[in-house]
Amino acid sequence: MKTVAIVGVGLIGGSFGLALRAAGFTGKIIGVSSPDAAREALGRGIIDEALPLADAAARADLIYLARPIEGILSVLDEIDQSVKPGTLITDAGSTKSAICCRATEKIARGQFVGGHPMAGKEARGAAAAEATLFRARPYILTSECSQLEELIASFGARVVIMPAEEHDRLVALTSHLPQLISTALAASIGTEPEAFRVAGPAAMDLTRLALSPYEIWRDIFDTNATNIDAALGVFIAKLEGLRDELRSPRIEHEFENAAAAARRLRGSS
Amino acid sequence: MKTVAIVGVGLIGGSFGLALRAAGFTGKIIGVSSPDAAREALGRGIIDEALPLADAAARADLIYLARPIEGILSVLDEIDQSVKPGTLITDAGSTKSAICCRATEKIARGQFVGGHPMAGKEARGAAAAEATLFRARPYILTSECSQLEELIASFGARVVIMPAEEHDRLVALTSHLPQLISTALAASIGTEPEAFRVAGPAAMDLTRLALSPYEIWRDIFDTNATNIDAALGVFIAKLEGLRDELRSPRIEHEFENAAAAARRLRGSS
């Protein structure tokens, strides 16, 4: 692997470039981005050169698509004619079924493997990119690919192979549901003008996601609404169950079950 | 003020003692706690002496009640006969109406002012106490009391004077609702055995409160169920609203409103 093209050099694409370098990659990294983002990525040494998509695709051995979902779908529509046969193409989109489906339709010369690093932070753009962003985090791949698995493992990430449909069902619960919960909680607290006077750590922790800009969520809702609706159904039923048992000793059992699930998530039981 | 009695020398009571010392208090601090907790607090230099409740109450100029709510209610039932006339009594209970109501009934020789520091952390007990726990956090008092206001301000906390009923209505939204949400989310994620494989920062942040032990929540639910039920009603309606609009452009407006509320909570708009 001599040349890598990163399409969308923001937080995730930029962190991928930095992680590549930190893992010892000595080849060329080409960026495909807006002029401002490309300048920032060049300035930080994340990319060696900025090129238009077709030119970058033609030179790359690995193409990393790190735009929002709609942007990834658009690139998949047009990129195949530009790539060298056998070029490995992967992405970092937040839902996988729509993207993998599009890739199956449109990618023939290249080889596509869907990806999703479960990493992120509030700050955005290449300025916020970090070589360690993926470390100790799950990184989902939608099919086996030893070259990509080794690369991602070298970033310190935990590679998880999982079909696109299962990924989308699970992240509806673990990622998309938390966002909607945080947004609904902030909106609820917003109904009380005096609430900010008493807000402690719990309110702060649970409304942090509500600061996320909508633009990254539009595509997620568009491509995963059925799973998200099901996750909301499970959650609202659990919450109504707690509501019914507020004054009942049975609620202790619900707290214990939930605490056990929270510990399992942390790998500690 | 020469002598302070802290009843319940755990995380909050212990932090109150350390904050007192850090603020320059040179008098005596008496602890009333279980033998183990008292030994730990003596070992850390948080208290100078451990005594039974009646003896501690008889010597104190300020009595700080930092047990769980039911424990505070029990102390209020029996303490008045032991205190010197005019002794200031305050508490750190998580709900205020039941406690202030009980104090009105039972405290005659002493002067009671309800309190609630909006601070905490996962670790518990005097071993986890910190002099800075209250810093930059709201500290609610249910009535004006210049002596207490000055003391709490000297800890770096933000004193908020608010009637007990308003406190309980607001913390139902900002503190009790987040706990139930976190518990219901952890229980929901727990329905998917594979979810831990893809859980990222959002799932971790929003299920942290679900690790809280139920024992501190039983009393909160017992004494604030009506307000919590109302807060759950507001939240579930907001979430159902988002669910209905998952594929609608109107959801962007909901995201913007929620982000604005989250920023207001942080004092940044």
**A269 pLDDT above the threshold of 90:** no
**Nearest chain B residue to A195, by CA:** B170
pLDDT by residue (tens digit) across B130-178?
Answer: 999 999 999 999 999 999 999 999 999 999 999 999 999 999 999 999 9
The pLDDT tens digits of the residues spanning A78-99 come to: 999 999 999 999 999 999 999 9
What pLDDT score was predicted for residue A268?
Answer: 60
What single DSSP character describes residue A107?
-
What residue ranges in chain B does DSSP mark as E strands? 3-7, 28-32, 49-50, 62-65, 88-91, 111-113, 115-117, 138-141, 158-161
Let me know: does A63 contact A107? Beta carbons within 8 Å.
Answer: no
User: From the list A198, A212, A213, which residue is nearest B140 (CB)?
Assistant: A198
Contact yes or no for B63/B90 (Cβ under 8 A): yes
Taking contacts as CB-CB distances below 8 angstroms, the residues of chain B near A190 are: 257-258, 260-261, 264
Does A120 touch chain B if contact means CB atoms closer than 8 Å?
Answer: yes
Mean pLDDT of all residues in B6-10: 97
Tens digits of residue pLDDT in B36-89: 999 999 999 999 999 999 999 999 999 999 999 999 999 999 999 999 999 999
Domains of chain A in start order, with CATH, are 3-162 (3.40.50.720), 165-265 (1.10.3660.10)
**pLDDT tens-digit readout, A190-215:** 999 999 999 988 999 999 999 988 98
- Structure tokens of B265? 């909570």
Neighbours of B216 (CB within 10 A): 14
Contacts of A234 in chain B (CB under 8 A): 188, 191
B39-72: string of b/e by CB count within 10 Å (b at 16+)? ebbbeeebbeebbebeebbbbbbbbbbbbbbebb
Of A39, A40, A6, A34, give the one whose Cα is nearest residue A21: A6
Task: Using an 8 Å CB-CB cutoff, list chain A residues near B130.
Answer: none
Q: What is the ipTM of this complex?
A: 0.90
Q: Which CA distances in Å does B168 have to A2, A131, B134? A: 63, 45, 20
Are the beta carbons of A177 and B202 closer than 8 angstroms? no
pTM assigned to the model: 0.90
Test the A interface: residue of B158, B188, B207, B257 with most A CBs within 10 Å: B188
* Coil, helix or strand at residue A139: strand
How confident is the model at residue B40, as a pLDDT?
Answer: 95
CB contact under 8 A, A238 and B205: no
Minimum CA–CA partner of A179 in chain B: B202
Q: Beta strand pairing status for A111-113 and A88-91?
A: parallel
List chain B residues with CB under 8 Å of A217. 255
Is B159 strand, coil or helix? strand
Q: What is the C-alpha to C-alpha distance for residues B186 and B184, in angstroms, rounded to an integer?
A: 6
